[in-house]
Amino acid sequence: MAEKSLTPLFNLNDHKREPKFTNGFYQKDIISVTQFSHDDLEYIFSRTDEMLEMSRQWGTCGLLKDYTLACVFYEPSTRTSSSFIAAMERLGGKVIPITEGIQYSSVSKGETLIDTIFTLEQYCDVIVLRHPDIGSSALAAKYAHVPIINAGDGAGEHPTQALLDLYTIKRELGKVDGLKVAMVGDLRYGRTVHSLTKLLSQYDVSLRFVSPDTLRLPLDLMNNLIDNGINVRETNKVADVIQNADVLYVTRIQKERFNDLAQYEEVKNFFEITPELMEEAKEKMIVMHPLPRVGEIHYKVDRDPRAAYFRQVQNGMYIRMALLASVLGQA
């Protein structure tokens, strides 16, 4: 085997992988909604608009063709992992999908999260991390040498969900300032409500909170809103808010929170969004939901053009495309 050819495989003078944009998000981690200034939001949203237009016209492109994403999910979340994978692939990027089995593999041998991150970052340019423990993404980001994008850290944050929620409001209604946003459902435990509320407090909005008494918005969040001068009001009935709401943000009431099932059944019925209820709503408004739903919105509402929840899903992919391209210096 001695006489093997050793012609160089690559002409490395050819081109070089370089950031096109080094301001703003380049090499930054995306950990929490609290890291986004008003300007940051506007910047990401205009990039997201471009991703949406590109996707509709071309389907895919080669913007991130030189980059690799490791998609690391310590718990399955088909919706979120699919969205990130689709986002990266539409930009021509490579994906290492670690969406199953990681808990049976390195982890079962006693490896720490940090060592797993130190290992996987050797293969890629950016890591999307889903982990059941609060603070895990921040911890990973502290040590990692590539940007970490938080795809949910247990009861903690899920910033890309909040960004896609806010983007959907802006995209659908043309603005955020001046809107009346009603949040409906489990406001106590609902992570998406908490994060979106924080983002909305950067805008001039009115917030209405509709929940059973046992599932009201936590005190500290409510006080923060009041301190920020946000117009807020709480109620138990969707009927109280449906007529004026520009946005009806509906969330699932989690059955497992209730000890008394009868109480759950009663509460559940308060909150079903039906075609009849939609008749009372404004002509130009939207219904949103972070999904999955289990009965909070009647299926007949799907045909209503104001039902924005599946367009919201699609926007999630565009938001993730914008974030991936931004942290890699390509947007």
Give catalytic residues, as residue numbers.
Answer: 79-80, 109, 130, 158
Find the binder of a second copy among 19, 34, 101, 274 (CB under 8 A).
Answer: 101
- State yes or no: residue 154 binds a second copy (CB under 8 A): no
Cβ closer to a second copy: 17 or 233? 17
Exposure class string for 233-272: b at 16+ Cβ within 10 A, else e: ebeeebeebbeebbbbbbbbbeeeebeeeeebeebbebbe
Q: Contact region for a second copy (CB under 8 A) — 44-52, 157-165, 195-203, 279-287? A: 44-52
Number of residues that bind a second copy (CB under 8 A): 89
| Residue whose C-alpha is closest to residue 61's, from 32, 28, 23, 88 | 88
The pair of structure tokens assigned to 207 is: 């917030």
Cβ closer to a second copy: 113 or 181? 113
Compute the least distance from the CB of residue 63 to a second copy, in Å: 7
Q: Contact region for a second copy (CB under 8 A) — 63-71, 182-190, 197-205, 217-225? A: 63-71
| Cβ neighbours of 274 (radius 10 Å) | 12
Cβ closer to a second copy: 80 or 197? 80
The answer to whether 209 and 231 have CB atoms below 8 angstroms apart is no
Find the binder of a second copy among 27, 202, 235, 314 (CB under 8 A).
Answer: 314
Please state, in angstroms and rounded to a whole number, the distance separating the CA atoms of residues 49 and 106: 39
Q: Is the sign of the CA dihedral 188, 193, 198, 200 positive or negative? A: negative
The answer to whether 102 and 120 have CB atoms below 8 angstroms apart is no
Q: Is the sign of the CA dihedral 128, 131, 137, 141 positive or negative? A: negative
Q: Contact region for a second copy (CB under 8 A) — 51-59, 165-173, 195-203, 260-268? A: 51-59
Q: Convert residues 16-35 into a mask of x (bound to a second copy by CB under 8 A) and - (unbound).
A: xx---x-xx-----------
The CA distances from residue 247 to 170, 283, 286, in Å, are: 11, 12, 5
Q: Convert residues 66-95 into a mask of x (bound to a second copy by CB under 8 A) and - (unbound).
A: xxx-x-----xxxx--xx-xx--xx---xx
Of 227-256, binders to a second copy (CB under 8 A) are: 252
Task: Enumerate the β-bridge partners of residue 307.
Answer: 287
- State yes or no: residue 96 binds a second copy (CB under 8 A): yes
Q: Contact region for a second copy (CB under 8 A) — 58-66, 206-214, 234-242, 261-269? A: 58-66
The CA distances from residue 143 to 26, 128, 265, in Å, are: 17, 14, 46
Q: Convert residues 262-291 into a mask of x (bound to a second copy by CB under 8 A) and - (unbound).
A: -----------------------------x
Task: Enumerate the β-bridge partners of residue 69.
Answer: 95, 126
Compute the least distance from the CB of residue 99 to a second copy, in Å: 7
φ, ψ of residue 307 to 5 degrees: the values are -75, 105
Of 102-131, binders to a second copy (CB under 8 A) are: 102, 104-106, 109-111, 114-116, 118-120, 122-125
- State yes or no: residue 331 binds a second copy (CB under 8 A): yes
Please state, in angstroms and rounded to a whole number, the distance separating the CA atoms of residues 78 and 115: 25
Cβ closer to a second copy: 67 or 209? 67
Compute the least distance from the CB of residue 231 to a second copy, in Å: 27
Compute the least distance from the CB of residue 32 to a second copy, in Å: 16
Find the binder of a second copy among 19, 214, 265, 310 (CB under 8 A).
Answer: 310
Compute the least distance from the CB of residue 232 to a second copy, in Å: 29
The CA distances from residue 256 to 16, 154, 183, 198, 263, in Å, are: 53, 17, 20, 26, 12
Residue with tokens 């289990």: 294
